Structure 1
Amino acid sequence: MLFAFVMFGLGWFAANYSAMGENEADWTGLHSQLQLQHDELAFLRSLAGSAQNGLSIERAAHQQLLLKIGALEAENATLKEEMRVFERLIPPGADAGKRISR
């Protein structure tokens, strides 16, 4: 009877010890999977950050171009007005070679 009890205890211990190994293997697998997911998350965050930076740069460039366009349009209007002033200074009937051409 004592022998059967000892054998039962040893069997139970062996079964639980192997199950503990399986749980440890499961734990290790889950830990590895979690690490991979953390790495993927970091990568995706860096991609999103790069895209956001690219978008910010594009918006800044667009704003600068709009400012340059406005400045060029204002300069163009000023030059057209100056050309009208100079055209009025030319006497009527003057030589065509002295006329300002557009």
Structure 2
Amino acid sequence: MHEMAIAQGILDIVLNTAAQHGASRVGLVRLLVGEMTQVVPQSLEFGFSALAVGTIAQNANLEVIIVPVTGKCVCCTQQFNIRQNQFQCPDCQSFNIEIISGRELLVDALEVE
């Protein structure tokens, strides 16, 4: 379960950022998680909650926003959502595709007091 290691990294970012701003409590952590990361949101939430016990993020809500895989055709510049690993342009049928979203794994926002 690689989600536990990811949760630890997220908690480190949250606690460091909160400390930099003199926060005493973390209320919300918003994450952008790309579909290609294959992170299981429920496992990530469980890991974060378990690791946050005893910290200022103990009662924080973890909001996970899934970012779909989006591609752009290098040949015709068409942008489209990639579903079921179909890396082919729906317009010109080219396989020359640039991935423009769906690999994200980042802390997007924090709400602190």
Structures share a fold, TM > 0.5?
Answer: no
| Structure (1 or 2) with the larger CA radius of gyration | 1
Greater strand proportion? 2
User: Could you say which TM-score interval applies, normalised by the shorter chain?
Assistant: under 0.3
**TM, length-normalised to structure 2:** 0.19
Structure whose residues are more often helix by fraction: 1
Where relative contact order (Cα < 8 A, 6+ residues apart) is larger, the structure is 2
